[in-house]
Structure 1
Amino acid sequence: MSVDETLPTTGAPAPAAPAAGRRLRGDLGVWSIVFMVAAAASPLGVIGGPVAIGISTGNGAGFPATYVVAGVALLLFAVGFTAMTPHVGTAGAFSAYVSRGLGRRTGLGAGFAALLSYLTLEAGVYGLMGPGVDNLLVSYGLPHVPWWVYALAAFALVTFLGHRNIELSGKVLAVGLVAEVVIVLVFDAVVVFSGGDGGLSTGIVSPTAILSGAPGLGILFAILGFLGFEATAVFRDEARDPERTVARATYLALGLIAVFYAVSSWALVSAYGDEDAVRVATDSGGTMLADATQEYLGTVGAHVVQVLFVTSVFACILSFHNIVARYVFGLAGRGVLPRGLGVAHARHGSPHRASAATSAVVALLIVLGAVAGLDAIGQYYTWLGGFASVGVVVLYALTSLAVVVFFARRRELGVGVVRGIVAPAVGFAALGFFLVLILQNLTGLVGGSVPLAWTVVGLLVLAFALGPVVARRDVPEGGR
């Protein structure tokens, strides 16, 4: 049995660190981890992708406000998450936190659900990558090419970088992230100072607009922009001074992401006007950002945005690939996946085998999407991204509950009631409410297909059910 199951009411120490041969290596500081998870959020990719989908299928001109609402709920989650971090001695993120609070079996189920959610999201973002590269090259006179051709080319590069030390990925992500943030902020400033198309949008502060349409889908696509911010904890083995680094990186990443998306999505709506923004997002969402930058920044600005959109989406894929590989690595180290996947590279200190296994599954999903003839954005990306969002909202809520239970049983640890119980409890309630809204609107996400909506729910239930099934093979952290 695990530490948490044998000593449920004591201040048991966090699990021991993994053996050296199974420990990842790195020297990541606060900003390196912030770049890693902010790149997963893909600032420009979100403004050019999920924002348009959220406006068209969610709550229209009120959609930017959902970033504020989601950000507040996730801040409450982060308070408890960071309070518990010093008491979680492994890099298992959702799985490790839930295990410490709710027991090994539930934690393993959370690990499988997280793996499935992030894996589908990594694969789904290739549905943005392919058309993004195609649109860019067509603008320079090249012929149209099927989306999956460029997706597979990007896949090869991601696979190579995933094999190497994490610091190489961090440097690649940092350069791209700074460039895309700068160009979006320039666009925001130009729209604001020009007054937009007939005045700046008021939807962000209008209760009528915020609650219009399908706010559940609005919340879903808003949360999609935050996915990965909690993965700061996944990099704790590769972090410098993880106890402080992880907490600081989590708050920084969450705050920057929330403010950036709220302001930039509001500026995009303002660029068209409240009514026209909904029409454009519905009719030509894939080019909504490009068309707006053409108008406000000119041809040069539009081309720069097209290039950086591609690099942004690539950075997002690479970041999620690193996250997924570390989930695979952690589960393999516990014996619930083949143990060979839990071995670090002798020279790079990377989860190279876990990375290769992740690549194999992603390649299969890309090929299946291509063979099925799915529309890259409207079906392949939207369906897989929506599935991932549902899964991660469940995991956020479950982790918040785990934090409450953990500190309620271990009051002697000295963590304040507000940090350890009140904030995560309120966060749990808010996230549970979000989940209800999302499930009520789930069929709208998948083209009105009830069977497909039930498939989404069923796959997540199955992932959680695997926890108790494989628990007998689990090796508690630090033991073999």
Structure 2
Amino acid sequence: MSSSTETLAFAPAAPLRAGLRQGTLTPLESLSQSIANIAPTLTPAINITVVAGLAGPSSWLAYLVATVAMLVVAANINVLARRHALSGSFFIYIGRTLGPFAGVMAGWSMIAAYLLTAVAVTISLGIFLGNVLAGLGLAGLTPPAWILMPAFLALVGYSAYRDIKLSSRIGLYLEGLSIAIIVVIIAVVTARHGSLLDATQLAPANIHLGGVTSALTFAVFSFVGFESSATLAKETADPGRNVPRAVMLSAALVGSFFVLASYFMVLALDGNADIIAKSSSPFAEITAHAGMPWAATIVYAAAMISGFACALACINAGSRLIFSMGRFRFFGAAVGEVHAEHRTPHRAVLVGLLATLAITLALTPLSPIDAFGDAGTVATFGFLVVYLLVCIVAPLDLRRSGELKAQHVVSSVVGVVLMLFVIWGSLYPVPDYPMNLLPYLFALYMGGGGAWFLYLKKTAPQEFANIEHDLEG
């Protein structure tokens, strides 16, 4: 295989009677896929606690820097998204430039990222539902996890199976509603505070760059999934234009939301970020301080809405990767089939859904907070690996076509450095047991994917005929 023409080398399955419904998603629906996968509402509801604990009153600055980092990564993703409109795109983006093994590892990594994010969100549903019912004085009515989680995932799975346009609209409406609730409550709380300026947060003397640097890793965690609209490129209208817009806009819009939400949450507490850092329900602290404790119940309800939209976006994106890799026969060819009526990868959806349910139920012996943290941490490893590889691949892809410019090289180098920094920050200092085992668990998972690749290459070499074209359908 020539290094200059190396392409992803799995042979696609035989032509099928139906393909994915091409060009059905509008620009707004494509954007909603990425935003729903980020689940912005979960950051002020729970994720900001860690950032505030490290950056203190400079939490807004940590999110600002993280936003810039994600925009750099988005620029590299968009180099590839404009040139290759593919289902399960990251698997192909990377494989066609770095070779089939790298492509398979990227796809394998991203499947874990999306499905484990769905696991974390499913687990969080129990946490937020318990808070809602407790706020209504009905804490004893919280259903057990073995009933709640399968029912939740069944609803998610049906939405993903039925119609990509329908499920994208659901994500759009639900995420829009949950963000609107958060924005309204922040506005009311800020109005009661009576000021928009907070000297504690804005004074240069109070900005601790060391804390901001330490918090950057956790701030970046809030963005994972912003790239997921690229996995639905085949189903998006004018994907070379609309997918890059969705990727870039999702990072910019949600990043702005994170910066403003973190600033006004600390403002509402008179600059005392320690209250947020020490609370497992940070928004409840904000509303209680403003004399609106009842509003916390609304926020938890909004977080549940956001969680459903996120889980649906994760299953949509993860199933497209499973579908894509099935068509290249890394998985059984059956998962590369498309439903004749609904034009969705129904078998890939089912596989992703069952895997998500199995992992979720396996984690139920842990406390919900620990299970949420474990699943989310391993998912983040999957995203970071692919973000790093995309930043490496983007300029190589452009060089091959003779379109490489200096700004592309700069964007790539900055992206690689930022992602390596984030990866290093997630590993060191070494976390306490059992969190210190999670990187090894992820490495074991990746090793399993690599071993399966080598097994297929040895036992079925005919499946590795070189190809030059996109996935069908």
Give the TM-score of the pair, scaled to structure 2.
Answer: 0.88
Aligned to 2:118: 122
Which of these residues, 337, 345, 349, is aligned with residue 343 of structure 1?
A: 337
1:379-398 map, 5 Å: 379-398=370-389
Aligned to 2:170: 172
| In structure 2, distance between residues paired with 1:442 and 1:22 | 49
Structure 1 residues 294 and 33 mapped into 2: Cα distance closer, same or farther (>3 Å)? Answer: farther
| In structure 2, distance between residues paired with 1:403 and 1:466 | 27
1:35-434 map, 5 Å: 35-56=32-53, 58-142=54-138, 143=140, 145=142, 146-147=144-145, 149-195=147-193, 200=198, 202-203=200-201, 209-212=207-210, 215-216=213-214, 218-275=215-272, 277-282=273-278, 284-285=279-280, 287-296=281-290, 298=292, 301-370=295-364, 373-377=365-369, 379-411=370-402, 414-418=403-407, 420-434=408-422
Q: Is the 8 A contact 1:61 1:201 kept in 2?
A: no
Q: Is the 8 A contact 2:120 2:372 kept in 1?
A: yes
Structure 1 residues 346 and 441 mapped into 2: Cα distance closer, same or farther (>3 Å)? Answer: farther
The residue type paired with residue 178 of structure 2 is E
Tell me, which stretches of 5 or more residues in structure 1 are unaligned?
none
| In structure 2, distance between residues paired with 1:453 and 1:174 | 33
TM superposition shift of 1:175 = 1.4
| In structure 2, distance between residues paired with 1:297 and 1:53 | 25
Q: Is the 8 A contact 1:134 1:150 kept in 2?
A: no
How much identity, in percent, do the aligned residues show? 24
| In structure 1, distance between residues paired with 2:251 and 2:289 | 31
| In structure 2, distance between residues paired with 1:211 and 1:462 | 40
| In structure 1, distance between residues paired with 2:73 and 2:175 | 25
The residue type paired with residue 153 of structure 1 is A
Structure 1 residues 409 and 71 mapped into 2: Cα distance closer, same or farther (>3 Å)? Answer: same
How many residues were matched structurally? 461
TM superposition shift of 1:188 = 3.0
1:453-479 Cα distance to aligned partner (Å, 9 max, x none): 433444345545655554554564547
Structure 1 residues 311 and 144 mapped into 2: Cα distance closer, same or farther (>3 Å)? Answer: same
Structure 1 residues 279 and 424 mapped into 2: Cα distance closer, same or farther (>3 Å)? Answer: same
Structure 1 residues 144 and 327 mapped into 2: Cα distance closer, same or farther (>3 Å)? Answer: same
Q: Is the 8 A contact 2:12 2:329 kept in 1?
A: no
Tell me, which stretches of 5 or more residues in structure 2 are unaligned?
none
| In structure 2, distance between residues paired with 1:127 and 1:148 | 11
Structure 1 residues 442 and 351 mapped into 2: Cα distance closer, same or farther (>3 Å)? Answer: farther
Greater Cα offset, 197-206 or 315-324 = 197-206
| In structure 1, distance between residues paired with 2:145 and 2:120 | 12
The residue type paired with residue 435 of structure 1 is I
| In structure 2, distance between residues paired with 1:215 and 1:209 | 11
SS at the partner of 1:43?
coil
SS at the partner of 2:222?
helix
Greater Cα offset, 194-203 or 244-253 = 194-203
| In structure 2, distance between residues paired with 1:432 and 1:47 | 26
Q: Is the 8 A contact 1:44 1:181 kept in 2?
A: yes
TM superposition shift of 1:203 = 4.3
| In structure 2, distance between residues paired with 1:468 and 1:427 | 30
1:52-108 Cα distance to aligned partner (Å, 9 max, x none): 23334x433333322222221221222222122233242222211111221222111
Q: Is the 8 A contact 2:284 2:293 kept in 1?
A: no
Structure 1 residues 240 and 204 mapped into 2: Cα distance closer, same or farther (>3 Å)? Answer: farther
1:352-409 Cα distance to aligned partner (Å, 9 max, x none): 1111111111111121111xx21112x1111111111122112101111011222233
TM superposition shift of 1:189 = 2.6
SS at the partner of 1:403?
helix
Structure 1 residues 198 and 354 mapped into 2: Cα distance closer, same or farther (>3 Å)? Answer: closer
Give the TM-score of the pair, scaled to structure 1.
Answer: 0.86
Greater Cα offset, 138-147 or 32-41 = 138-147
The residue type paired with residue 184 of structure 2 is V
Supply the RMSD in Å over aligned alpha carbons. 3.1
Aligned to 1:459: 445
TM superposition shift of 1:132 = 0.7
Q: Is the 8 A contact 1:52 1:288 kept in 2?
A: yes
SS at the partner of 2:363?
helix
